[in-house]
Amino acid sequence: MAVVLSAVFAFALLQSLINPVLPQLQTALHTTPELVTWVITAFLLSASVFTPVLGRLGDRYGKDRILVVTLAFLALGTLISAVATNIAVMITGRVVQGVGGSVLPLAFGIIRDEMPHKKIPGAIGLASALAAAGGGVGLVLAGPLSNALGIRALFWVPMILTVCAAVAARLIVPPSPARDETSTSWRSSVLMAGWLLALLMPLAQASHWGWASSKVIGSLTAAVALGAAWLVTESRSASPLVDMRLMRIPAMWTTNVISLVFGTGIFAVFGFMPAFLQSPAQGGYGFGASATEAGLFLLPMTVTMFLAGLLSVRLTLRVGARAVLVAAAVLNTAALTMLAFLHDHPWQVLISMGLLGTAFGAGMATMSNVIVAAVRPDQTGVANGVNANVRTIGGSLGSALMGGIIGAHLGSGHLPAEDGYTYGFAALVIIALGALLAALFVPRQQSSTQVRRAGGTSPHPMESDEPVPVQPQTLPARSQDEARCPH
């Protein structure tokens, strides 16, 4: 468990550690504001593509082996970024780091394989809480670490942690007992990368290209075409990268919609809130904070993420997963609304960060447990890989959308105007309502309190103190005829 958690934490740190120092990184690499934002976007795009691929490979070749491979790529990418002397090499390193996105679904799969049934929900809740809080910890540590050891330390320190986690995983994590012998669809991987890139590019560059330009229209058209081809390929594949049959399970499609929306909001905040806080107050917003002070503004989000992730399992036992996810969606919407319209005073930002952290921490831990309980053990890696992938795609979309809106509203001195942040966060509020709607469709479950009052036993492993078998709500393996003709 310690090895798995250290691997999760290493990746979570790299999600946000460099966000507060992007201006300094821009200066050090002699690049432009538009290009330096791709340090974030390239990482998320890479994670979006590789997470389901390596989740599938983990199910086939063993989660223990693929975890070591994933951590090795994460360390290699961090090393490349640490020694980068220009923006091209830095972005290359971040793309390689994105392979580490599969750490989380692999970790969930290992926990399910190795832990007693009654301890699985708590263990997954702890891993989810650490994954959520790790991003916040990165925002808090960025300023002090770069001040003390230099900006390159933001890569060297996680690299050392990642190497240690990889060695420990190779020596300690036992082989996976469940294997899926189907192959991986590489054509689907290429098509997924294509439609994601075609979608993200116009969102990020529309303010410079123009929303009605041929580049934007052509890219969006290509995204639709490639996305349609990807869906057709997945539906006809005997070993799909994202098994669309799983999406027929209510627990899967609802949690994936929530994950997409939550990812859109949280990664946009990770990417742009530090710059908002560091903006000089003379521009009508911001507090002129240093990188260290900006991290302290975000500390409530980090703390509440971790605590909410830990407490969500017990809360789910009492009121059910649907109630927890509905509450998390409400808090997420409230936090983004505050950021859009109530950001003039420090206390307003602190409260909104606390609400956002509570929503994301509780939601992430609850969704992970719902998914693990809904599928077979051999599908744990790919199912959680899909969920983590959807969240990362949401993060890519949120970062690109927020960057495009802010870039279209520049004030004096080429600094973003307050309207850019207001409109950007307001757009995230509208998207956040989708999570609230999806949460209402999460399958209702009896709470353990209701079961005990009725004198029965808990029907769900998340809601029992005794080790009971998981009853997956999955579909039977498709036949060769179905693989050739999905209709």
Specify whether the CB–CB gap between 104 and 112 falls below 8 A: no
**Distance between CA atoms of 237 and 128, rounded to whole angstroms?**
31
- Per-residue pLDDT, 414: 65
Residues in CB range of 284: below 8 A, 6 or more apart: 417, 418
Specify whether the CB–CB gap between 69 and 115 falls below 8 A: no
Quote the tokens at residue 100. Answer: 């580490």
- Per-residue pLDDT, 90: 93
Three-class secondary structure of residue 416 per DSSP = strand
- Per-residue pLDDT, 178: 63
**Distance between CA atoms of 40 and 374, rounded to whole angstroms?**
32
Domains in the chain with CATH codes: 2-171+186-474 (1.20.1250.20)
**Distance between CA atoms of 192 and 295, rounded to whole angstroms?**
34
**Distance between CA atoms of 384 and 102, rounded to whole angstroms?**
9
**Distance between CA atoms of 28 and 25, rounded to whole angstroms?**
5
**Distance between CA atoms of 450 and 468, rounded to whole angstroms?**
18
- Per-residue pLDDT, 162: 92
pTM of the model: 0.74
Amino acid making up residue 305: M
Q: Which residue has the tokens 């780091």?
A: 97
Specify whether the CB–CB gap between 178 and 378 falls below 8 A: yes
- Per-residue pLDDT, 224: 92
**Distance between CA atoms of 211 and 205, rounded to whole angstroms?**
9
- Per-residue pLDDT, 385: 66
424: closest CA among 300, 339, 349? 339
**Distance between CA atoms of 313 and 120, rounded to whole angstroms?**
10
Amino acid making up residue 125: G
String of b and e for 320-339 (b: at least 16 CB within 10 Å)?
Answer: bbbbbbbbbbbbbbbbbbbb
113: closest CA among 64, 72, 153? 64
Q: Collect the ranges in the chain with pLDDT lower than 70.
A: 34, 178-185, 204-208, 241-242, 377-382, 384-385, 411-414, 445-487
- Per-residue pLDDT, 236: 80
Task: Please report how many Cα atoms fall inside a 13 Å half-sphere around the Cα of residue 357, on the Cβ side.
Answer: 29
385: closest CA among 180, 202, 236? 180
Cα 68 to Cα 4, 170, 384, distances in angstroms: 11, 6, 18
CA 245 to chain centre: 23
Partners of residue 410 on adjacent β-strands:
416
**Distance between CA atoms of 446 and 317, rounded to whole angstroms?**
9
CA 65 to chain centre: 22
